Structure 1
Amino acid sequence: MFSAILSACGKEKTANSSGQKVLRIGYQKNCPLVILKERGTLEKALKKYGYKVKWIQFQAGPELLEALNAGSIDFGRTGDSPPIFAQASGSSLVYVAAGISKYKGSGILVKKNSGINKLSDLKGKKIGFAKGSSSHFLLIKALEKAGLSINDIKPAYLQPGDARAAFEKGAIDAWVVWDPYTADAQRLPNTKLLVNGAGLTSDRDFFVASSSFAHAHSDILKIVLNEVQQSSDWANHHHKETADMLSPLLGIDKQSLMIALNRRTYGVQKISNNIVKEQQDIANTFYKLKIIPKKVTIKNNIYNIYKGNGKDDRK
């Protein structure tokens, strides 16, 4: 059990002269850390170590990672693609844990009457997606499967809110996105999920920290990840309560959130060799297509705060 591994904390000293320490956590509204934040359990767990928690919200992963590199936050969570761009820009971030694959909630949405019934039908179509995101990679792999490339479609670089509006108005022919936006859009009239991420991408979260904080305070990170796992276990067994919690925060109705929750498992994993390979494949793909300016070696930024090689890779 992963949580059992997490329970053993290190022996490092985290005290400073002021006696009051602050753990600065970067989060996005739609991420596992929101559940942890709303439940308030981390504050209780860290109080006896003299820590208080400061939560800082970001609109997107790249902004969060810029703050991490600048020393404005200590720890955060992003999707799989932003850390690769950060590494390519010279960030010293370290990956400390991964989330469980959530490919079922990521996919390509089209209108039922669009005439797009298979991946090859995307040729020549205008497709909305967030540049440099997990959806960007999903689209690349989906096109490859159909014998196409990104040059065979008309890309529209749009964040989820703008893409949703464009999709509803018919300004784009297809929309590539992740849950709960996928689930919410699936409930629109005349909308269907062409494909999800099965066989194309793992689409997992990554928990990252500044290199300096990870090396100095691995004991605190173990406590944080243990609390993430505990809140994840709660969410996995309390879908209705989780939907009630997230709905007002995300502005998405509970029915859509229930669809998303029913096809996702929250949790924390050690970063195995398989997970490193998954992430390296994304980095290699982005470099090959000149989306990032230089090669990135994922393993150079892995910080294993646990004993052993971290071969747990449960789905």
Structure 2
Amino acid sequence: MTNSQPRGATSSRRTILRAGIGGAALLSLGMPTVRAAERTIRLSYQRSSTLLTVLKAKGTLEQRLKPLGFAPSWHLFTSVIEPMNAGAVDLHADVADAVPIFTQSANAPLTFYAREVGAPSAEAIIVPAESSIRSVADLKGRSVGVSRGSGCHFILAAALKRAGLSFADIKPAYLQAPEGLAAFGQGSLDAWVIWDPFLAIAQAKRPVRVVADATGLSSYHRYYLANDSFVAENPLVVATVYDALVEAGRWVKAEPDAAVALLAPIWGDLPPEVVATVNRRRTYAVTPVVRAELNEQQDIADTFHEAKLIPRKLDATAVRIWQPQAERG
């Protein structure tokens, strides 16, 4: 085998390596280093994923993950349960509190790694302002749009139960949020159960009445989950994303005008006041997930089982949780 390098260069490199001098020193000596190829980290988001949208638009994760050898790829979903169950990405879109009940029921290998503190006014049952429907009890026999498996699915189930009704008493129309927005706008639904930003969009498009929001039914916490194997193999990456989410949440609240200017065109050139309404209602306060604070998850699981939306009873607190402080000592 031939070697085109002078013997002196080879000898010098061996001496340096024996001395334990790292890559930075080699660069300073003008010697080439081999850089490992970046690994792709797949992230999903949805239109309501404000903080992930901010990080994507600002390129924050590209900057933070590059030193760790990762490059993010972004995947937009309107229906998140299927990709979560299938493990289609590594870090999943933030989801309303009800969604993990369905993924847990499907035995999806998912770990909770962050929570956005709840904002119950950010999801609601709405009707046209001229509607005769003035209470949840008035939904009996009416068509009600809702996204299957969403947090609003639970809000509807719980609200009906509180009013002495069930899904058998209404005409549920299972529609993804964009489809529901169109159907509600066209008058094809008597009522619609929806979350922000679609709630704020509907309220801006026409006069509506809020029959009930999540207050007293759910805190509407939003959870961030990741594939078990990814968390186990890449805790530093998860910690980096967690920190970025915390900072993004603080930025949206500290710089409301800048946040509106960034999000409005991404959300379909929405009027600034619509985006401002969404951002006022949401807390964007990202915190660790604490098992003792998952009691509401159990209420959701029990309600869904009673409504035959999941096939078996669950211990909703028996989930895998990544703790940022524990991971970083």
TM more than 0.5: yes
Counterpart of 1:146 in structure 2 is 163
Using the TM superposition, give the Cα deviation of residue 277 of structure 1 relative to its aligned residue in structure 2, in angstroms: 1.3
TM-aligned CA distance change 1:274 to 1:183, over 3 Å: farther
For structure 1, which segment, 170-179 or 46-55, has the greater mean C-alpha deviation from structure 2 after superposition? 46-55
Counterpart of 1:160 in structure 2 is 177
Alignment of 1:89-128 (within 5 A): 89-128=106-145
The partner residue of 1:300 within 318, 322, 325 is 318
The secondary structure found in structure 2 opposite 1:206 is strand
The secondary structure found in structure 2 opposite 1:24 is strand
TM-aligned CA distance change 1:59 to 1:160, over 3 Å: closer
- Distance in 1, matches of 2:229 and 2:61, equals 21
TM-aligned CA distance change 1:57 to 1:167, over 3 Å: closer
The partner residue of 1:219 within 227, 236, 248 is 236
Runs of 5+ consecutive residues of structure 1 not aligned to the other structure:
1-16, 309-315
For structure 1, which segment, 43-52 or 99-108, has the greater mean C-alpha deviation from structure 2 after superposition? 43-52
| Native 8 Å contact 2:42 2:89 kept in 1 | yes
Counterpart of 1:179 in structure 2 is 196
| Native 8 Å contact 2:157 2:307 kept in 1 | no
Deviations, residues 145-168 of structure 1 (Å, cap 9, x unaligned)? 222222221111112222222222
TM-aligned CA distance change 1:188 to 1:29, over 3 Å: closer
Using the TM superposition, give the Cα deviation of residue 19 of structure 1 relative to its aligned residue in structure 2, in angstroms: 5.1
Counterpart of 1:56 in structure 2 is 75
Using the TM superposition, give the Cα deviation of residue 24 of structure 1 relative to its aligned residue in structure 2, in angstroms: 1.8
The yes-or-no answer on 1:260 pairing with 2:268 is no
| Native 8 Å contact 1:186 1:193 kept in 2 | no
Counterpart of 2:299 in structure 1 is 281
TM-score norm. by structure 2 comes to 0.82
Counterpart of 1:81 in structure 2 is 98
Counterpart of 2:65 in structure 1 is 46
For structure 1, which segment, 294-303 or 231-240, has the greater mean C-alpha deviation from structure 2 after superposition? 294-303
| Native 8 Å contact 2:289 2:323 kept in 1 | no
Amino acid corresponding to residue 73 of structure 1 in structure 2: V
Alignment of 1:17-32 (within 5 A): 18=36, 20-31=38-49, 32=51
Counterpart of 2:12 in structure 1 is none
Counterpart of 2:257 in structure 1 is 240
- Distance in 1, matches of 2:227 and 2:110, equals 5
TM-aligned CA distance change 1:274 to 1:260, over 3 Å: farther
TM-aligned CA distance change 1:66 to 1:273, over 3 Å: closer
For the aligned residue pairs, the C-alpha RMSD in angstroms reads 2.0
Structure 1 stretches of 4+ with a deviation exceeding 3 A read none
Using the TM superposition, give the Cα deviation of residue 81 of structure 1 relative to its aligned residue in structure 2, in angstroms: 2.5
| Native 8 Å contact 2:81 2:149 kept in 1 | no
Amino acid corresponding to residue 275 of structure 2 in structure 1: L
Amino acid corresponding to residue 109 of structure 2 in structure 1: S
- Distance in 2, matches of 1:51 and 1:187, equals 40
- Distance in 1, matches of 2:230 and 2:254, equals 32
Amino acid corresponding to residue 302 of structure 1 in structure 2: R
Equivalent pairs counted in the alignment come to: 289
Using the TM superposition, give the Cα deviation of residue 18 of structure 1 relative to its aligned residue in structure 2, in angstroms: 4.3
- Distance in 1, matches of 2:54 and 2:201, equals 19
- Distance in 2, matches of 1:41 and 1:190, equals 38
- The structure whose Rg is larger is 2
TM-score norm. by structure 1 comes to 0.85
Counterpart of 1:33 in structure 2 is 52
The secondary structure found in structure 1 opposite 2:273 is helix
